[in-house]
Amino acid sequence: MRYAPTDLGKRALWMYFIAPRLAWASFEYEAQTLFGGRLRGNTADLIQRCIYYFGTWEPHITQWMAASLRPGDGFIDVGANIGYYSLLAASLVGPDGPMVAIDASPGIFLELQANLRLNKARVRTVHAAVSDRRCRLPVFRSPPDNAGSTTTIRDGIIEADTFVLEGEVDAFPLGELLTDEEIRRARIIKIDVEGAELMVARGMAELFPRLRPDCEIVLEVGPHRVIAQGETVETLLKVFTDAGYFPYNVMNDYSTRDYLPPVKAEAPRRLRAPVTEQCDLIFSRRDVETLPTRAAPRT
């Protein structure tokens, strides 16, 4: 799929042969991403399966990040999972860019550390949850086919017969987990916390004035999870808009449609409609219609 000399027929090959016959087989692997990082994983998991077959995950976000991060920039990965985005950022910011990868799951955190060690990546790792206050939170591990759904939120979020209580973890507002330099130099903060978005956002209130003006925040939003906690998506968005950020919607199709050639990256577009489905938003202080997905020339 990845190394054939031509893209002709790849889509048909995937749809009619690999997907129905091979793609759901579960096996351990070590594979290289399109940006050169190496990851160990298992094809039973959605994210790890895409990385194995296609060398990438969430292509539109990946392309936007590749266009946004420059050498020396900082990157904060909240809900780092197995480390795909941390390794992507490491390949872009170089040895001088301060980087932090945070994950609450004890099991996933070990996988994250192993993948960072495999690449000798200079990323500070933190085993903690991010919230709006200091507390202890439970960690519910999701089924093996989608480990990325692991969450610290119970009510209305998890299914008791498929999620397993993995333990408890200390939780802090994001600013308490970062150094002054990591805050000051952060160019992108990526947040993927499976239902805890509003708590994380509220805990960032004192952080916003300390961020550089061009810092942008990527946030996965699940409206059904927010509503299940008695809150609204509008409340979540208001935390960021009150701090001077504009929301942009970035395409993210979890089918393999966007992974098969021809693939054309779509720029994040200004959010103009209510959020009713799970989506990924980028919050930026830039007041434009679309965010660039091509790196600006160096000056």
Which pLDDT belongs to residue 24? 77
The chain-wide mean pLDDT, for the chain, equals: 92
Q: How confident is the model at residue 158 (pLDDT cuts 50, 70, 90)?
A: low
Tell me how far CA of residue 281 lies from CA of 65, 84, 157, in angstroms: 13, 18, 20
pLDDT per position as a tens digit, 220-266: 999 988 998 899 999 999 999 999 999 999 988 777 778 888 777 78
Token representation of residue 163: 């999620």
Does the pLDDT of residue 299 top 50, yes or no?
no
Long-range contacts, stretch 22-27, CB < 8 angstroms, 24+ apart: 23/49, 23/53, 26/144
- Give the confidence band of 50 by pLDDT, cuts at 50, 70, 90: very high
Q: What percent of the chain has pLDDT over 70?
A: 96
Q: What is the pLDDT of residues 91-148, one digit of tens each?
A: 999 999 999 999 999 999 999 999 999 999 999 999 999 999 999 999 999 988 898 8
Task: Read off the amino acid at residue 238.
Answer: K
pLDDT band at 268 (very low <50, low <70, confident <90, very high): very high
Rg over alpha carbons for the chain, rounded to the nearest Å, is: 19
Cα separation, 28 vs 207, whole angstroms: 40
Q: Is pLDDT larger for residue 152 or for residue 262?
A: 152
- Residue 75 three-state SS: strand
Decide if pLDDT at 51 tops 70: yes
Nearest CA to 126 among 113, 141, 139?
113
**Mind listing the pLDDT tens digit for each residue in 180-196?**
999 999 999 999 999 89
Q: How confident is the model over 7-28, as a mean pLDDT?
A: 86
For the chain, give the percent of residues with pLDDT over 90.
75
The predicted structure's pLDDT at residue 67: 96
Better-predicted residue by pLDDT, 4 or 104: 104
Cis ω on the peptide bond leading into residue 59 (within 30° of 0)?
no
Is a pLDDT exceeding 90 seen at residue 155? Answer: no
Supply the pTM of this predicted model: 0.94
Distance, in Å, from the CA atom of 240 to the CA atom of 132, rounded to the nearest integer, reads 14
Please, what are the domains in the chain? 57-284 (3.40.50.150)
The rounded distance, in Å, linking the Cα atoms of 177 and 184 is 13
Residue burial 139-159, b: 16+ Cβ < 10 Å; e: rest: bbbbeeeebbbbbbbbeebbe
Average pLDDT of the residues in 163-184: 96
The dihedral of CA 42, 45, 50, 56: what is its sign?
A: negative
Question: What are the b/e assignments for 79-98, b being 16+ CB within 10 Å?
Answer: bbbbbbbbbbbbbbbeeebb
